[in-house]
Amino acid sequence: ASTYQHILTETRGKVALVTLNRPKALNALCNDLFVEVNDAMKNFDDDENIGAIVLTGSEKAFAAGADIKEMKDNNFVDTYKKDFLGHWAKISDVKKPIIAAVNGYALGGGCELAMSCDIIYAGEKAVFGQPEINLGIIPGAGGTQRLVRAVGKSRAMEMVLGGGANLTATEAQSLGLVSKVVPADQLIDEAVKTASKIASKSQASVQMGKELINKSFEVPLSAGLRWERAYFQALFGTADQKEGMGAFAEKRKPNFTNN
Ligand code: CAA
C-alpha cells in the first residue's frame, strides 16, 4: 500500500498505473502532488517487473493545471532562486514509456504534463488548453514548446495567446497531439492494453526507441540518424535480439527476457 496523499498507484501485470487523485481541486498540480508523481515514476522506472506506465486522472479532469491558489502569492526572486516547477522536468528522465490517458480537462500544466508523456490517448470529452494568459502569465512547463511541435504554430499561438481555443479530443487527434480517442469509460483499459503490449517487448529496445524519438526533437537529423544506427547496432549484443530473430525464423512467438 502506498503512502501517497494525492495519487493512487497500482500494477496490472507489467504495467504500472498512476492516477492523479485530488478530486476537490480537479487534480490541480500542487507541489506535493508533483513530488509524489516523480517518486512513483522513479520507483516504477527502477522496478524490473514493470515495462510501461499509464498516467491518468479522473473522468472530469486529467489535471486543471498548476495549483493557482498555492502559487498566487509567489514572488519573482523566490520562484527564480528555487527554480519553481523545475522538478516537473524530472518526468522526462523516466526511461520507460509513459502513456497519458486523458479524460476531461487537461489545462495549463495538465496539458503540459500530458505532453511530457510519450503517447496520449483521450476520452471523447477530453479538453486540451493553455489558459495561463488569462492569469497574467504564460505556460511554464512546455506549453510554448511541446504544443507547437504537436499542433503547429498557428493553433499553438491561438491557444497560448488567446487563452481559449481549447482542443476537443477529436481535434487533438486530427492535429497529432493525441493518437487515439475512445469512450471515457474504456480509456484506461485501452491505455493499459497498449502499455501491456509495449511491456511485452525487450525493455532495452523499447527504451532506446523512446530515447531516440525524443532525441529527434533535440538534435540535427544527421546526428539523430547516427545515434539511431549506433543503438540499432548495439542491440545485436543482446540475447533478446537473438531470441526475436530466432523466433521469427522458427515461426514461433518470441519470449524476451530483458537480457
Ligand atoms: N488551481 C487550484 N485550484 C483549482 C484549479 C487550479 N488550477 N482548477 C480548479 N481548481 C479548484 C477550484 O478552485 C474549485 O475549488 P473550490 O471548490 O474550493 O472553489 C474546484 O477546483 C473545482 O473547480 P471549479 O468550481 O472551477 O469547476 P468548474 O467545473 O466550474 O470549472 C475549470 C472547471 C474550467 C477547469 C476551472 O476550474 C478552471 O478554469 N480552472 C483553472 C484552469 C487554469 O487556469 N489552469 C492553468 C493554471 S496555471 C498553470 O498551469 C501554469 C503552468 O503552465 C504550469
Question: What does the pLDDT look like over 190-239, one tens digit per residue?
Answer: 999 999 999 999 999 999 999 999 999 999 999 999 999 999 999 999 99
Tell me the best of 20, 26, 27, 30 to mutate to test the pocket of ligand 1, counting ligand atoms within 8 Å of each CB and taking the most.
26
Q: Is 143 in the pocket of ligand 1 (CB under 6 A)?
A: yes
Which pTM does this prediction carry?
0.98
Q: Is 66 tagged catalytic?
A: yes
Question: What pLDDT does residue 78 have?
Answer: 95
CA distances from 192 to 99, 132, 186 (A): 8, 31, 10
Question: What pLDDT does residue 54 have?
Answer: 99
Query: In the chain, where does DSSP find H-type helix?
Result: 31-46, 68-71, 76-81, 109-116, 146-151, 153-162, 169-175, 187-199, 203-215, 221-234, 239-249
Question: What pLDDT does residue 32 have?
Answer: 98
Q: Is 63 tagged catalytic?
A: no
Query: What H or E segment, with its residue span, contains residue 216?
Result: none
C-alpha 148/C-alpha 65 separation (Å) is 18
Question: What pLDDT does residue 43 have?
Answer: 98
Question: What pLDDT does residue 39 have?
Answer: 98
Q: Is 74 helix (H, G, I), strand (E, B) or coil?
A: coil
Question: What pLDDT does residue 33 have?
Answer: 98
Question: What pLDDT does residue 162 have?
Answer: 98
Question: What pLDDT does residue 141 have?
Answer: 98
Q: Is 171 tagged catalytic?
A: no
Q: Is 132 in the pocket of ligand 1 (CB under 6 A)?
A: yes
Question: What pLDDT does residue 60 have?
Answer: 98
**In angstroms, how far is the first alpha carbon of the chain from the final one?**
30
C-alpha 34/C-alpha 66 separation (Å) is 10
* Cβ density class 176-206: b for 16+ within 10 Å, e for less: ebbebbbebeebbebbbbbbbebbbbbbbbb
In this prediction, the residues of the chain whose per-residue pLDDT falls under 50 are: 1
Question: What pLDDT does residue 22 have?
Answer: 98
User: Which residue's alpha carbon is nearest to atom 1 within ligand 1?
Assistant: 67
CA of 39 to the centre of ligand 1 (A): 24
Question: What pLDDT does residue 133 have?
Answer: 98
C-alpha 127/C-alpha 171 separation (Å) is 10
Spot the catalytic one: 16, 132, 169, 195: 132
Q: Which three cell numbers, joined as nine digits, stand for 125?
A: 470529452
C-alpha 148/C-alpha 131 separation (Å) is 15
CA of 69 to the centre of ligand 1 (A): 9
Question: What pLDDT does residue 165 have?
Answer: 94
